[in-house]
Chains A and B, each alone.
Chain A
């Protein structure tokens, strides 16, 4: 297992190198001048040219690339072209907000999605199944930002239970959770719909397998058959889904962050694109790529635990 992890980590190095190179080139393909975006439309052409030189944008592309790689190897993600702050400081500030939102949404999705899916599969075509399917369909149909606005309307503007905007303070866990509830529910309900549908479909397949019939024939309790035999076998595709969710949510939570006016990595990335802040954009994408690699490795490890058939050695 350790050897496998070590191999995956080694493989991640060339992957990251390719990703970093593509990111470097891609951000420069977007039309628009970072110096002009930073200085605004009042700036003179001389001032824009001067800032371009200060930011190294007047250097040949290869030279910019070498400088960038050199800094990256020293774990220096650079300074923002707009605020001149360290990009890592900016990312460090927003990352915990994105991670807590992602984790909370995934936990809610699993906590409700899996039981709903299992119940729907076990009681196929019953009232519970239909209710579960309708809820799933609703979750799949409602865009996260719209659901967010609905939640704000009812729970903030009308009832005044939860705050409409902002993120809580990490030094105050109560305040933090208080601010997290609506955004997490907004994202989590939609993910829950995917989880419940996937769980239902996987469980329906697994429940008709021979080994489940054998387990039942042996006289095992239905609970044991379900959870020990059927659910464990059905867990692998659900784990893949969770991996995809986590990766996707880190990037796609931007709409929820926007609606709830929360800081976050997705929002930071959109801001960097709008302002043509190349260094910040590169830094965010490198961090994002890093997460994808790490999460994939974690998912691989969980596979082996969940399903002994998956062998690496």
Chain B
């Protein structure tokens, strides 16, 4: 027993000495380097897929944005303006005699493909760009192939490519597809082929301001500064993206100084509270994910427009916005958000078109009675466990209860919900999504082309096709607006709100740009981002 006691005492002493020493090291170990590594706590448990042509989760989009470039890019901190990125200047289009359209893109001659574990750094050429766009266009190698359907991409010379599209499109539709988002990110051919498609999932190699250095499952992705970056060496020595799924832990780690930037909670209260902490700044900015309602127009009793109208009249946007609170939550007046892109309806436009339905439970009950449901009815709905879905379904259930409709809500895992709603399990489907333009929103959710994600079984294909066919941006926007009016007039879909992004940072962090909106769902960290001395 004496021996055991001694062992326990020794162990405890070791822990104490080691931890004290560790504490000492931790306190004094902060770098004396010229540049600092920014530690970024992101709301995720791990990466999903770092091949930019598959990346869709928030954490994946943020990481690939730091590693890759597009031919053009959204001006940092905005989503309304584009500027050349890998392209030397903004591409121009010419109409061909055969009815096609050709976009010519001249490339910068100082863009370097980053080195990888298998390849050396080399100058990016048109061959890489052709390879990347062809990869983005293939269903076998990209999630975003549909955006590149009907494209022919050719290298004219080492620094010029031509993209021929079957049907002429406007700037507003074409340029975002070659921007720094989704399939528009340019992948260098040699490292991709050397690492293989599977290897690229956890080992991305691009041309951006930061280079992939290390991936530790469930823990972090470490990026190092790419000093050969064509816009100049980054002000940071690197970025360490830490996966921290718990919001309170992120907040406390920011408070303890272990994080420079932390993803916040999408709640105005949280933003207000944390911004009161000394040395911490909270940013609320776009792009927000839009919550919109889809009503299945083919399922009884929702095949009756009176019932669908009653549902719309039962809903209060304010009730849903209250879940986040302004300015984190903002009202939208169509599934396409007018705040973020052309083609959405503003409050005035929706009101003028008579599709801005104010909550009116009395009228809703009258409509139900008219449709033969004076005693209401019962429906079964499934929701994801994620707050952004579950809480809104709960509010909806309460709203519908007020007009006599009983909702039996079943909470399932997020992936299960996605599977079930695609099997038409929900007659009323909330969807939370950001899409880069009105065409994608409308075609994915309100046309036959959308397939299983056309939850309402409503079709605005004619207007979407017509909008695609015009190269006049103003006319195009009007057609998209009309599609939004139609689908709300027929009570098939309804825009409720968008939820902005909330991030907190140490006040020593300067992103290097104003923060209005960032398409890749994080504040945007690039070569200009810096950390000033404490």
* A residues apposed to B, CB below 8 Å: 30-33, 36-47, 50, 82-85, 90, 93-94, 107, 111, 149, 152-153, 156-157, 160-167, 173-175, 177-179, 181, 227-228, 258-264, 267-268, 270-271, 273-276
Contact = CB atoms under 8 A, between A and B. Distances in A.
B249 A274 contact: no
B527 interface: no
Contacts of A164: 249, 252-253, 256, 258
Contact of A40 (B48, B243, B259, B419): B48
A42 B26 contact: no
Q: Which 3 A-B pairs have the closest CB atoms?
A: A178-B22, A40-B56, A32-B415
B249 A152 contact: yes
Given A40-B56, A44-B143, A156-B252, 18 more contacts: A30-B416, A31-B413, A32-B413, A38-B49, A42-B143, A42-B144, A47-B139, A50-B140, A94-B217, A107-B11, A165-B258, A166-B220, A167-B219, A173-B18, A178-B22, A181-B19, A181-B22, A261-B249
B412 A31 contact: yes
A163 B29 CA distance: 13
18 contacts: A30-B413, A36-B418, A37-B415, A40-B57, A42-B56, A42-B144, A45-B452, A47-B143, A82-B49, A84-B198, A84-B201, A162-B22, A162-B23, A164-B252, A165-B41, A165-B242, A178-B22, A228-B1
Interface centre among A33, A42, A173, A275 (most CB of B within 10 A): A42
B244 interface: yes
A149 B11 CA distance: 26
Contacts of B216: 93, 263
A260 to B, nearest CB: 7
B81 to A, nearest CB: 24
Contact of A163 (B26, B41, B245, B246): B26
Contacts of A167: 219
A181 B242 CA distance: 20
A156 B258 contact: yes
Interface string B135-156: 0000110011110000000000
A40 to B, nearest CB: 4
Contact of A274 (B54, B143, B413): B413
A178 B249 contact: no
Contacts of B201: 83-84
B451 interface: yes
A84 B180 CA distance: 25
Nearest to B27: A160
B255 interface: yes
A43 B413 CA distance: 19
Contacts of A264: 218
Given A30-B416, A165-B258, A175-B25, A43 B143 contact: yes
A31 B419 contact: yes
A165 B256 CA distance: 10
Nearest to B444: A42
Contacts of B145: 44, 47
A215 to B, nearest CB: 15
A162 B248 CA distance: 17
Contact of B418 (A41, A46, A152): A41
A227 B144 CA distance: 70
B12 A111 contact: yes
Given A47-B140, A47-B143, A274-B413, A152 B45 contact: no
A165 B26 CA distance: 13
A157 B251 CA distance: 9
B124 to A, nearest CB: 26
Interface residues of B, number: 63
A293 to B, nearest CB: 26
A36 B256 contact: no
Nearest to A156: B256
Contacts of B231: none
Contacts of A44: 139, 143, 145-146, 451
B218 A267 contact: yes
A157 B198 CA distance: 40
B4 to A, nearest CB: 9
A307 to B, nearest CB: 16
Nearest to A54: B140
A254 to B, nearest CB: 10
B140 A276 contact: no
Interface centre among B23, B144, B416, B453 (most CB of A within 10 A): B23
B198 A177 contact: no
B253 A165 contact: yes
B377 interface: no
B45 A93 contact: no
Contact of B243 (A39, A153, A261): A261
Contacts of A84: 198, 201
Nearest to A82: B48
Contacts of A107: 11
B257 interface: yes
B414 interface: yes
B412 to A, nearest CB: 7
Contacts of A273: 413
Contacts of A175: 22, 25
B13 to A, nearest CB: 12
Contacts of B256: 152, 156-157, 160, 163-164
Contacts of B412: 31
A33 B419 contact: yes
Interface centre among A31, A45, A50, A276 (most CB of B within 10 A): A31
A178 B26 contact: yes
Contacts of B23: 161-162, 178
B281 interface: no
A58 to B, nearest CB: 16
Contacts of A178: 18-19, 22-23, 25-26
Contacts of B257: 160
Interface in B480-527: none
A139 to B, nearest CB: 18
A170 to B, nearest CB: 12
Given A261-B246, A268-B217, A32 B258 contact: no
Contacts of A262: 219
Nearest to B56: A40
B1 A93 contact: no
Given A38-B49, A178-B22, A165 B139 contact: no
B474 interface: no
B250 to A, nearest CB: 8
Contact of A260 (B27, B202, B249): B249
B440 to A, nearest CB: 9
Contacts of B146: 44
Interface string B409-426: 000111110111000000
B218 A263 contact: yes
B105 to A, nearest CB: 24
B8 interface: yes
A280 B257 CA distance: 34
Interface in B310-351: none
A117 to B, nearest CB: 14
A163 B12 CA distance: 19
Given A36-B419, A84-B201, A261-B249, A174 B244 contact: no
Nearest to B2: A227
Contacts of A166: 219-220, 242
A39 B219 CA distance: 22
A50 B198 CA distance: 15
